[in-house]
Structure 1
Amino acid sequence: MDPVKRSLVSLHLTVVLLGGTALFSQIISLPATDITLGRSIFAFVVLTLLVYSKRGSLVLTNIRDYVMACFLGALMAVHWVTYFAAMQYAGVSVGIIALFTFPVITVFMEPFIEKGTIHWQDILSALVVLLGIALIVPAPDLSNDITMGVLVGVFSAFLYSLRNLIHRKHFSQYSGAKAMAWQTAVICILLLPFGFNGLRVADIDDWLWLLLLGTVFTALPHALIAQSLKHLRAKTFSLVASMQPIYGVALSIIILNESPNWQTLLGGILVTSASIYETVVTHKSSKV
């Protein structure tokens, strides 16, 4: 199997795990900042062990790469905090769909960071996703928790898109585990002053959930994603990963007993349709 197809398979497998991360915003009884800090602590430990288990190290090549690692880590810190905050405002179903405006943002940001052009198919996919997001906004009122959750989710999407594009262009020479180990380390340093007290008094159940979130649902899939970005355009990654809302909404219904309305479900279908289209095109061309 060539590297592009192998990366696509790996990416699809990680989507299930990433779709499940949204559930922890409701399961863990901590603020978004504390959840992100706990998640990053466990993820950093696992990723570091993975790097050294392969006889690697966390040493980077030059000063520029250390600066880039810090910048990417800062982007991820704010992205993860706003990601969980969006879910806590609007619920998992709405929050996870709002987050997946990032394929649209990526499509239009990518030509400015990497050489390329915007095709009419990209614009069509963007319009479909925008229509899906529009369906879930109840009213243009910031006092409405769902509206606020959508806005926070869109901001989180922008940060995630920016991080993916910069990572691919300037940091993809490192393994997925090593890259994410550095980024989670930076997250821990940045958020420790804000989340230490909350974690210090957290109960054992929250710590166990954080352990699961940081290892199985964070360290593993993010290592695989960072690796796949070596062979896939950020746009393709973004649109394929848009299948996450399907898993996130389904899990929220089954595990959290959420009851999304028809607008939310239809919006999720529209967002996901763009991902399915991009995946089909990628398989046909075998060139990303």
Structure 2
Amino acid sequence: MPSKGLLSVHIAVILLAGTGLFSQLVPLPALDITFYRCLVAFVFLALVLSFTGQRFRLRNTKDYQTAIILGVLVSLHWVTYFYSMQWSSVAAGMIALYTYPVITVLIEPLLLQQKPKLNDLICALVVLLGIVLMLPLQNPLSDAGLGILLGVFSAMLFAARNLLYKHKFSQYNGPQTMFYQVLVGSLLLLPLLFVNNQATNWSLPTSSSLLLLLLLGTLFTALPHALLVTSLRYLTASSVALISCLQPLYGMLLAALILAQMPTWQTIVGGALILSGTLYETLKNRHR
């Protein structure tokens, strides 16, 4: 049912909007934050699947191969996403990430051997214009510029993950899907974490950082991503991508309230354009 998909994606967007705050609140490198995020989410989802009596095993070997690819994509997406916000800002990182709706809208019809719909193309162009208006006009070689470029790369990884799930893995529910993704992410990032910290005086996170990481891995990761992949069972990946454009608006509001990062007039105008595209896509799917 489209209504169930819409409810899932909107709740997920509100929770995911808060993830950017952790890049500034947790005093750790992005690689470390992502590893602990995956590890906490893995433990949490394992408990959820156990207590609800859901199966852990996948149906065939091909599905395990797909799960591994999904895990690699989502873990690399998270690492680049957090680095993007650490190098620039929460607002800039989220803005760069939200090139992924445009990427998704343009690629998904090609995978289905279809032409993109005109109204989706127009909506994507409106969203793209909003993103361009929100980007800070800075030296492209500065930390902020490199952070934005890394955010765009993160968006490509996220779009690829959504499309792969939609067309190859949607027979599994949200908790099952995210369980394998964060498991693969934990195994992939552990040796990288060891190598990255081998030359430094690495130590365990403080108690306050651990609390923040627990919140990040459960309430702000396991739950919203499970809801997000659940919504992909009822809506197209391009529709979910466009609806999710609310996330940077919520994220910038939270950044202003908690981190005192105030949006500029370009952010307000661009955000209005993004919101208009999101509302259009939401109403279109509700009508369906």
Normalising by structure 1, we get a TM-score of 0.93
Q: Distance in 2 between matches of 1:125 and 1:195?
A: 40
Instruction: Check whether the contact 2:133–2:270 (CA below 8 A) recurs between aligned residues.
Output: yes
What does residue range 69-84 of structure 1 map to in structure 2 within 5 Å? 69-84=67-82
Shift of 1:283: 1.5
Out of 206-215 and 6-15, give the one that drifted further: 6-15
Aligned residue in 1 for 2:206: 203
Aligned residue in 2 for 1:158: 156
Instruction: Check whether the contact 2:110–2:116 (CA below 8 A) recurs between aligned residues.
Output: no
Query: 1:199/1:66 Cα in 2 relative to 1: closer, same or farther (>3 Å)?
Result: farther
- Please give the per-residue CA displacement for 1:118-164, whole angstroms capped at 9, x wherever unaligned: 12212212222222222233447442222222211111111101100
Instruction: Check whether the contact 2:73–2:161 (CA below 8 A) recurs between aligned residues.
Output: yes
> In structure 2, what residue type is equivalent to 1:280?
L
Q: Are residues 1:183 and 2:181 paired?
A: yes
Instruction: Check whether the contact 2:103–2:159 (CA below 8 A) recurs between aligned residues.
Output: yes
- The alignment's C-alpha RMSD in Å is 1.6
Q: Distance in 2 between matches of 1:243 and 1:139?
A: 23
Instruction: Check whether the contact 2:138–2:144 (CA below 8 A) recurs between aligned residues.
Output: no
Query: 1:150/1:270 Cα in 2 relative to 1: closer, same or farther (>3 Å)?
Result: farther
Aligned residue in 1 for 2:242: 239
Equivalent in 215, 224, 227 of residue 227 of structure 2: 224
Aligned residue in 2 for 1:58: 56
Shift of 1:30: 0.7
Gaps of 5+ in 1: none
- Please give the per-residue CA displacement for 1:224-255, whole angstroms capped at 9, x wherever unaligned: 11111111100110011111111101000001
Q: Distance in 2 between matches of 1:61 and 1:219?
A: 22
- Please give the per-residue CA displacement for 1:149-206, whole angstroms capped at 9, x wherever unaligned: 2211111111101100110111111111011000000000010012254874322211
Aligned residue in 1 for 2:265: 262
Q: Distance in 2 between matches of 1:161 and 1:109?
A: 9
Percent identical pairs in the alignment equals 45
Out of 186-195 and 110-119, give the one that drifted further: 110-119
SS at match of 1:158: helix
Q: Distance in 2 between matches of 1:272 and 1:86?
A: 23
Gaps of 5+ in 2: none
> In structure 1, what residue type is equivalent to 2:54?
G
Out of 21-30 and 132-141, give the one that drifted further: 132-141
Instruction: Check whether the contact 2:90–2:251 (CA below 8 A) recurs between aligned residues.
Output: yes
